[in-house]
Amino acid sequence: MITIDENKCIGCGLCAKDCFTHDIEVIEKKAKSKRIRCIECGHCIAVCPESAVSLENYPMSDILEYQQGQFELDENQYLRALKFRRTIRQFSKKPVAAGQIETIIEAGRYSPTGGNQQNVSYCVVKDDIGPLRAMALDELNKIASLSTAEKAKLNISWYGEMWQQMYRDFHDQKIDGLFFDAETVILVISESVQSACIAAAHMETMVYAQGLGMLYSGFFTRAVAHSKEIKDYLKLDPGQNVHACLVIGYPGVKYQRTVPRKEAKINWR
């Protein structure tokens, strides 16, 4: 819940106007919280011109004061970076530092969640990549071995043959077609697909901003969704799922240019 310092409050009403849940009102030229529907989004903190608002049980030291030129993005540079971004499946052996991982997760932590639920958690896999890879490949191989009718229900398409080949390649030749020998994997976990995917997208931007590269392993998330063994191994709470798997490392390949995309389908109304 929020706390409003009446000595600082000037009763401007900006916090009440920007409060999505209408939990703030101005009484006798002082803002007051009804403390009924506050979702702790912090908009009142951000908009207050006198820094009169604080949020209980939150580290207020996290707050940064706005400075022009320090918080804006250049739209053209950002779009060029998105166009140049490539999914990486060749990684060098250079390790990803712990500080880099923490910064990537920080990008996820500050991503929006519906109703400010902050319902996303993260699992950083480094030392346990081997066992996790083996379990995932085993599960994918099992799925690929289902009957044609069962696979049709799961909408596997032609991936089944690929998964079986990945399984054989790993066990026969130690070829890693799942994590591609990357040494860092971050799992984005939530009860909400939307919250997890928004966090993952912001984390991806930070990955590339650090000079790293990554791929989203949809194969791994598919394996987790069908494997109680993997869910138990990751100690997921009931209702939680791994909605994004970021395989991260320094690129072992250098690209020279962007690639084309089909025109966007837009329905202007």
- What's the pLDDT tens digit per position in 185-236? 999 999 999 999 999 999 999 999 999 999 999 999 999 999 999 999 999 9
Whether residue 16 is predicted with pLDDT greater than 80 in this model: the reply is yes
Q: At what angle do helices 159-173 and 218-225 cross, to 10 degrees?
A: 100
- What's the pLDDT tens digit per position in 165-178? 999 999 999 999 99
Q: Please give the domain boundaries of the chain with CATH numbers for all domains.
A: 2-62 (3.30.70.20), 81-249 (3.40.109.10)
Residue 97 is predicted with a pLDDT of: 97
Whether residue 31 is predicted with pLDDT greater than 80 in this model: the reply is yes
From residue 201, give the alpha-carbon distance in Å to each of 8, 88, 231, 247.
38, 15, 23, 13
Residue 158 is predicted with a pLDDT of: 81
Helix (H, G, I), strand (E, B) or coil at 188: strand
Euclidean distance between CA atoms 105 and 101, whole angstroms: 6
Contact 141, 222 (CB under 8 A): no
Entry pTM: 0.93
Side chain identity at residue 176, one-letter code: D
